[in-house]
Amino acid sequence: MAKSFNAFEMAKKQFSNVAEILNLDEATRDLLKNPLREYHFSIPIKMDDGTSKVFRGFRILHNDARGPGKGGIRFHPQETVDTVRALSMWMTWKCAVVDIPLGGSKGGVICDPHNLTEREQERICRGWVRQISRNIGPLQDVPAPDVMTNAQHMLWMLDEYEIISAGKHPGMITGKPVGMGGSLGRTEATGYGVIFTVREALREMNIKPSDTTAAFQGFGNVAQYAIKLYNQLGGKVICVSCWDQQDNKSYTFKKNDGIKIDDLLKITDRFGGINKEKAKEMGYEILSGESWIENDVDILIPAALENQITKDTANKISSKVKIIAEGANGPTTPEADEVIKAKGIFMIPDFLANAGGVTCSYFEQVQSNMNYYWEKDEVLGKLDVKMTSAYLDVSKIAREKGLYMRDAAYVISIDKVAQACKDRGWL
Ligand code: NAD
């Protein structure tokens, strides 16, 4: 039987490759390869029908040498400790690559919000905070939304934290609703950030965005805003794929003359699932979920889940593709990276491409701690500056040292975090 995918093994493998390049000593490797702290706990919940259920929750802090931990909370039925470990490690590298003074962490609850009422989800959020309130907070570790969690979940969590700590601490969590401590621009930030990096890559290649086409996997928060900005730059999206809850499989929605984002949004649920029948009526071709990757486009943007571009699927990528920008975390396996390198496709790695979310979360935290909020243009302008300069730093190192972009981004991040651990006298 094939060995099942393990995100943490993949994150460690990526780390080890770069530890070699940087010639890191054994102790540094040992420290950075593993989380500093892990919390695993049970969350007992009263369900609406009067029964009780116990959910498993996690918070894992990979490293906080550069500042308080930062990282989302995922609600997912297939959540595993190793996925959370990997995601926490990627958060450390992500904060370092965009040079924000934060460390990396991640949390999660094994649950499926599709099968939970709003009230049950609220109880899970409050239960999660009750278990971990001593170990999170504006100066320790700051959660945020991730897959299947949103602004409402964050507000319930903040409320519970403020009840426990008997004070107002809006900087304890990010991704809150605007007007309740949230930052303008946060909803757009990750998707826009992906496109800021794509724009810079195209500029370096001397290609106009308006001369390009793209295919997306996923049609959730990241993909939707990435598509909006990419369209504004003149780019055309040929297809998007998404998960179909009823059929328990994914589909690709294709229109050769370009998908119409506003029309598609009207028939999309809050989980980023598109209504097949209505899409058909609108003239979309409905194809297999995997077919998004096989299109003759210039840019591929995986923006759904990890482990999507594997050795097998990478071999199906068209020779026309010039750029892969990873909106999702960990969508490409190390084996697929080798195929992508051999094909000469320019990779904008996840922890650089999708760092707009955490960068804006950092802006939200700063605003919340000051209790003073910026205008949207100011937030998005600052985001563009951060993302563009991070992109340029990575692409410069990649060119100077002849490195694959993922390795170049890792070299910058791991070097910064290792140095912070050394400067603090940990190593
Ligand atoms: P989301 O829940 O809003 O959307 C996920 C989308 O992926 C949905 O359209 C869903 O239908 C689709 N999907 C799920 N499984 C699929 C499959 N097998 N094939 C095709 N489509 C599938 O999530 P999101 O916030 O857009 O996050 C997407 C990815 O980006 C995740 O990897 C997440 O960790 C990463 N990310 C998100 C943010 C953020 O700010 N939202 C920041 C950084 C990274």
pLDDT tens, residue by residue, 328-371: 988 999 899 999 999 999 999 999 999 999 999 999 999 999 99
> What pLDDT sits at residue 76?
95
Is the beta carbon of 215 within 6 A of some atom in ligand 1? no
- For residue 240, what are the β-bridge partners? 216, 253
Is the beta carbon of 190 within 6 A of some atom in ligand 1? yes
Calpha distance 275→252 (Å, rounded): 12
Is the beta carbon of 303 within 6 A of some atom in ligand 1? yes
Which residues are designated catalytic? 106
- Among 88, 192, 243, 361, which residue has the most ligand 1 atoms within 8 Å of its CB, making it the best to mutate? 243
Name the residue among 194, 244, 249 with its Cα closest to residue 216: 194
Residue 1 has pLDDT above 70, yes or no: no
Cβ-count burial 17-40 (b if 16+ within 10 Å, e if not): ebbeeeebeeebbebbbebbebbe
In the Cβ-directed half-sphere of 160, how many Cα atoms lie within 13 Å?
20
CA atoms 321, 326, 332, 334: torsion sign? positive
> What pLDDT sits at residue 2?
44
CA of 282 to the centre of ligand 1 (A): 24
- Among 76, 97, 147, 249, which residue has the most ligand 1 atoms within 8 Å of its CB, making it the best to mutate? 147
Is the beta carbon of 193 within 6 A of some atom in ligand 1? no
CA of 124 to the centre of ligand 1 (A): 21
Is the beta carbon of 242 within 6 A of some atom in ligand 1? yes
Length of the chain: 427
Q: Which atom of ligand 1 is nearest to the CA of 304?
A: 7
Nearest residue (by CA) to ligand 1, atom 15, is 243
Residues 6 or more apart whose Cβ sits within 8 Å of residue 183: 174, 360, 361, 363, 364, 367, 373, 374, 379
Is the beta carbon of 175 within 6 A of some atom in ligand 1? no
CA of 420 to the centre of ligand 1 (A): 31
Nearest residue (by CA) to ligand 1, atom 35, is 328
The 10 Å Cβ neighbour count of residue 420 is: 18
> What pLDDT sits at residue 298?
98
Is the beta carbon of 218 within 6 A of some atom in ligand 1? yes
Q: Which atom of ligand 1 is nearest to the CA of 355?
A: 43
367: helix, strand or coil: helix
Is the beta carbon of 259 within 6 A of some atom in ligand 1? no
CA of 242 to the centre of ligand 1 (A): 9
Residue 23 has pLDDT above 70, yes or no: yes
Residue 4 has pLDDT above 80, yes or no: no
Is the beta carbon of 69 within 6 A of some atom in ligand 1? no
Average of pLDDT values for 241-252?
96
CA 283 to each of CA 233, 286, 292, 384: distance values in angstroms, whole numbers, following the listed order: 25, 9, 17, 35
83: helix, strand or coil: helix
Is the beta carbon of 149 within 6 A of some atom in ligand 1? no
Calpha distance 295→239 (Å, rounded): 9
Average of pLDDT values for 203-211?
98
Q: Name residue 118's amino acid.
A: E
Confidence of residue 270 (pLDDT cuts 50, 70, 90): confident
CA of 370 to the centre of ligand 1 (A): 31
CA of 236 to the centre of ligand 1 (A): 20
Average of pLDDT values for 45-62?
98
CA 179 to each of CA 73, 163, 176, 246, 371: distance values in angstroms, whole numbers, following the listed order: 21, 19, 8, 35, 11
Residue 50 CA to chain centroid, in angstroms? 36
Residue 391 has pLDDT above 60, yes or no: yes
Is the beta carbon of 331 within 6 A of some atom in ligand 1? no
- Among 305, 308, 309, 362, which residue has the most ligand 1 atoms within 8 Å of its CB, making it the best to mutate? 305
- pTM of this prediction? 0.92
Q: Which atom of ligand 1 is nearest to the CA of 148?
A: 2
Q: Which atom of ligand 1 is nearest to the CA of 94?
A: 43
Confidence of residue 5 (pLDDT cuts 50, 70, 90): confident
CA 224 to each of CA 218, 239, 263, 386, 403: distance values in angstroms, whole numbers, following the listed order: 9, 12, 12, 21, 31
Residue 250 has pLDDT above 90, yes or no: yes
Strands (E), 264-421: 285-288, 299-302, 323-325, 346-348
Residue 3 has pLDDT above 60, yes or no: no
Residue 209 has pLDDT above 90, yes or no: yes
Mean pLDDT of the chain: 96
Average of pLDDT values for 291-297?
97
> What pLDDT sits at residue 141?
98
